[in-house]
Amino acid sequence: MSSKPAPSSHSGADPARHAPGPDDTVPPAEDPTEDEDALAPAGHPGGGVLTLVSTPIGNLGDFSDRAAATLAEADLILCEDTRTSARLLTARGITTRTEPLHDHNEQHRIPALIAQLERGRRIAIISDAGTPLLSDPGFRLARAAIAADITLTAVPGPNAAITALTLSGLPPHPFMFSGFLPPRSAARREVMGRLRAAEQAGLSATLIWHEAPHRLAEMLADLADIFGTDRPAAVARELTKRFEEVRRGPVGTLAAWYADNRARGEITVLLGPPAEDDGGAGDLDDRLRAALATLSVKDAASLVAGAINLPRRTVYARALELARQADDPHC
């Protein structure tokens, strides 16, 4: 069989010689726009596009070609910090104009950015590291774009919480990521107490947070106090970088370690779900019923909340419900 290519339709050859017969298979014609369409988000023709682009969490080699192309082709890149993002963009030769988008300016910038998108502009959002919106700015703008019926798409990539979860050895699902806890101990313990109360009501999930190095030891101590020293946990540090480390063990042991060994770098903390024999709601109810036998609802709630490190308001609501059930067994 000759390897000589068939003549084109304008070659003057007899078209009948090359017409397919009834048993011939005709390959589909190549669509020159197929690759572009595969990468382009669905949306209004000619309309603007807001793209959430994930960036490396430490290793520049994790930046995908598609992410680089998206940023290079955008009309504007919104950065959490333009100085931090400059290193990544320079490494890939990306010269697209950048502007800051952070917690302090996002809300008032939304109208002008939506107007640009409505005029057909292509805008990308990146954070300092990882996936935008998760503990980073961009959520309010993304929600405004959805409300304005503007195409919203994403270029997925690195994420510290998911990477830490897969390396932790803790149950990968269900999990609950809560960003950063409050910096002050009292507020932090209040949030932890609500999560522990949710476990008392049946929540069973691996819990994930980011934390600053200088607060890590205190945060782990609070976790051990509220959730119990034996709860399995992990601390992931400097993920994808040269000194990557994942330390695993009971949260009380980890708290003691980091009390004596100061941590450095970007940190993700994970707490495993409660054990199957965890007292749960039954333990809370038993304590409250015993206290209600001799105390008022208010005093019983205060006593039990202090004993099991749960928010007083949460315990009071449950105490009130138990008191009503005791007064009316049919309720």
77-134 residue pLDDT tens: 999 999 999 999 999 999 999 999 998 999 999 999 999 999 999 999 999 999 999 8
pLDDT at 288 over 70: yes
pLDDT at 19: 41
Does domain 46-158 fall under CATH 3.30.2130.10? My reply is: no
pTM: 0.76
Residue among 125, 118, 126, 107 nearest 151 (CA): 118
Token pair 């205190």 in the structure block, residue: 218
CB 47 within 8 A of CB 150: yes
| Mean pLDDT calculated for residue range 237-262 | 97
> Residue 143's pLDDT is what?
97
Residue 266 pLDDT: 94
Q: Label residue 279 by pLDDT band (50, 70, 90).
A: low
Per the CB < 8 A criterion, the answer to whether 70 and 123 are in contact is no
> What pLDDT does 309 receive?
67
- For residue 25, the model assigns a pLDDT of 43
Is pLDDT at 68 greater than 90 in this prediction? yes
Spatial strand order of the sheet with 245-250 comes to: 175-180, 206-211, 267-271, 232-237, 245-250
Residue 89 near residue 81, CB atoms below 8 Å: no
Is residue 204 scored above 50 in pLDDT? yes
- Domain 162-271, CATH: 3.30.950.10
| 53-67 pLDDT tens trace | 999 999 999 999 999
Q: Residue 287 — very low, low, confident or very high, per pLDDT cuts 50/70/90?
A: confident
**Average pLDDT in the 26-46 region?**
45
Q: Are 149 and 143 in contact (CB under 8 A)?
A: no
